[in-house]
Amino acid sequence: MDLFNNIILGFSVAGTPINLGFALIGCLVGTLIGVLPGIGPVATVAMLLPLTFYLEPVSGLIMLAGIFYGAQYGGSTTAILVNLPGETSSVVTCIDGHQMARQGRAGAALAVAALGSFFAGTVSTLLIALFSPPLAKVGQSFGAPEYFSLMVLGLISAVVLAHGSVVKAVAMMVFGLLLGLVGTDGNTGGQRFTFGLITLADGIGFVPVAVGVFGVGEIIANLMAPEEKRSIVMEKISNLWPTMAEFHQAWPAVIRGTALGSILGVLPGGGATLSSFAAYVFEKKIAKDPSRFGRGAIEGVAGPESANNAGAQTSFIPMLTLGIPGNAVMALMIGALTIHGIQPGPQVMTERPTLFWGMVASMWIGNLMLVIINLPLIGIWVQLLKVPYRLLYLAILLFCAIGVYSVNNNAFEVVLTAMFGVLGYIFLKLDCEPAPMLLGFILGPMMEENLRRAMRISSGDPMIFINRPISLGLLIAAALLLIIVALPGVRSKREEAFQEN
């Protein structure tokens, strides 16, 4: 059995003390940033990316992955106890989770969130192991035109699944594509948009862009908002176990959330946040008595929390098998691979089986660690919330600066980060979703390269994208997505899903 051998191989890689150690570090950091509001996984992964230079590629990826799914666990803790989402993917957990805490059922809510996440993590790890090899096979038959169309589909889905206006999201994506082209043109050697600066000849690094837009921009915006009072519900966490009745209510929601999250995670542009919102709306729709929601319905915690973890993990599938990032964190993972000289794409699985399967196995181990980190140690994490934001943001800012600086020991990149921080703040203020921009930024050079290759194959005939069946199918899918989202009915539903709060 191939799968069985592969999983054994994976566990033998992930189970080495050093990789277990990095999985633990990743999970701890992930929980930390999940608990702390004001810093998300995108900025953290971007900040810590430079440090993975010094590690084996497997260890680095294991750690970065741990941060991403660890943040989903940690985010629920603050949502339930403090009514403050540590992550955007936990926004909906606040609604019923905090109500449960107020009713003295905080322990049950936390346990359901953690166990639901663990179940979702286990299932989605299995899904990755099952579906990645066939998908990578499909990917290996792809030529330049198919890759180009696939990236178009990826970008379009990122746009469709972004908040707010679709036109704005498309514009952000094009803006990102343009930013990605800054630097030396790999084909002609010509300089583009470099303003004559030598440091820009290699292009804009994605670490300054990601840290600036997602980290620094957020800080600027947070500092303007009045500091909210945090009322921590700490009284009744003594009883961690849900009652039998609660358990019976919760488990079907966990399964539904896992299924929904697994599907939405694979879609480009999907991932944790979308999954949790969708799961909450879904639970409310199918509930016999929807009025219980908002007053401490346990399904409102179980569904979204399982979904966000499942979504976070299955979003690795397109990244690992096709080299196409579905969301901003995956885009950074692509960056991490290229830093180590690994060309992302379907060949990763066959050429570096230890990397692929080691990472998959580490996800399951990491999920197990997270249950332990979260449940018994919950008191410690809550203590961290007592650090006031006026001190916290200084620490975040400093880590951002050092993280960016250490990529190339280049002070100019820190200045760039400051500039992108201002830009990120402007985006926030103008309701421009930055995720499509980052995706465009990462994909820009790859798309241009594949476009050029496709044109060389077809001797300059753009019809090649339509004449090749797989490419045509991908483009039709992209067009359908755009048409569907433009339909008035779907549009209002989409707004509703994003504004359930």
Partner 1 sequence: MTDQATPRRDWLGTLQRKNVLAGLMFMSVALLGLFLSRNYPLGTILRMGTGYVPRLLCWVLLALGAAVTLVGALGADDRFSEDGSPWRSLLFVPLSLICFALTAESLGLVIASASLVIVGALAGRHMRIVEVAVTAVVLSAVCVAIFIWGLALPIAIWPEW
Beta strands in 219-365 (DSSP E): none
- If one asks whether residue 477 binds partner 1 (CB under 8 A), the answer comes out as no
Residue placing its CB nearer to partner 1 in the complex, 461 or 496? 461
- If one asks whether residue 415 binds partner 1 (CB under 8 A), the answer comes out as yes
d(CA 410, CA 404) in angstroms, rounded, equals 8
Judged by CB under 8 A, the chain residues 41 through 60 that form the site for partner 1 are 51, 54
Neighbours of 171 (CB within 10 A): 15
- If one asks whether residue 239 binds partner 1 (CB under 8 A), the answer comes out as no
| 345 closest CA partner among 446, 209, 448, 265 | 446
Residue placing its CB nearer to partner 1 in the complex, 185 or 351? 185
- If one asks whether residue 499 binds partner 1 (CB under 8 A), the answer comes out as no
d(CA 92, CA 75) in angstroms, rounded, equals 11
- If one asks whether residue 219 binds partner 1 (CB under 8 A), the answer comes out as yes
CB of residue 2 vs partner 1: minimum separation in angstroms? 39
> Looking at 25, 181, 240, 259, which residue binds partner 1 (CB under 8 A)?
181
| 144 closest CA partner among 477, 461, 374, 447 | 447
Residue placing its CB nearer to partner 1 in the complex, 4 or 54? 54
Q: Which residue type sits at 37? A: P
CB of residue 184 vs partner 1: minimum separation in angstroms? 9
- If one asks whether residue 482 binds partner 1 (CB under 8 A), the answer comes out as no
Residue placing its CB nearer to partner 1 in the complex, 101 or 182? 182
The single residue listed with the structure tokens 């990316």 is 49
Give the single-character DSSP code of 426: H
Judged by CB under 8 A, the chain residues 428 through 457 that form the site for partner 1 are 429-432, 448, 451-452, 455-456
- If one asks whether residue 462 binds partner 1 (CB under 8 A), the answer comes out as yes
- If one asks whether residue 485 binds partner 1 (CB under 8 A), the answer comes out as no
DSSP characters over 333-397: HHHHHHHTT---STHHHHH-HHHHHHHHHHHHHHHHHHHHHHTTTHHHHHHHTTS-HHHHHHHHH
| Strand pairing report for 191-192 and 183-184 | antiparallel
- If one asks whether residue 373 binds partner 1 (CB under 8 A), the answer comes out as no
CB of residue 223 vs partner 1: minimum separation in angstroms? 4
What would the two tokens of residue 97 be? 């989770």
> Looking at 16, 347, 406, 408, which residue binds partner 1 (CB under 8 A)?
406
Judged by CB under 8 A, the chain residues 108 through 147 that form the site for partner 1 are none
| 32 closest CA partner among 66, 55, 2 | 66
Asked if 349 and 140 touch (Cβ cutoff 8 Å), the reply is no
Q: Which stretch binds partner 1 (CB under 8 A): 144-152, 223-231, 273-281, 305-313?
A: 223-231
What would the two tokens of residue 379 be? 């008191």
> Looking at 20, 178, 466, 497, which residue binds partner 1 (CB under 8 A)?
178
Q: Which stretch binds partner 1 (CB under 8 A): 128-136, 153-161, 181-189, 297-305?
A: 181-189
CA 275 vs CA 140, 377, 408, 457: distances in Å = 29, 27, 36, 39
SS3 state of residue 202: coil
CA 359 vs CA 6, 347, 389: distances in Å = 12, 16, 34
Residue placing its CB nearer to partner 1 in the complex, 168 or 284? 168
Binding mask 290-329 for partner 1 (x = CB under 8 A): ----------------------------------------
- If one asks whether residue 387 binds partner 1 (CB under 8 A), the answer comes out as no
SS3 state of residue 226: coil
Q: Which residues bind partner 1 (CB under 8 A)?
A: 51, 54, 165, 167-168, 170-171, 174-175, 177-178, 181, 185, 187-188, 190-193, 216, 219-220, 223-227, 390-391, 393-395, 397-402, 405-406, 409, 411-412, 414-415, 417-419, 421-422, 425-426, 429-432, 448, 451-452, 455-456, 459-460, 462
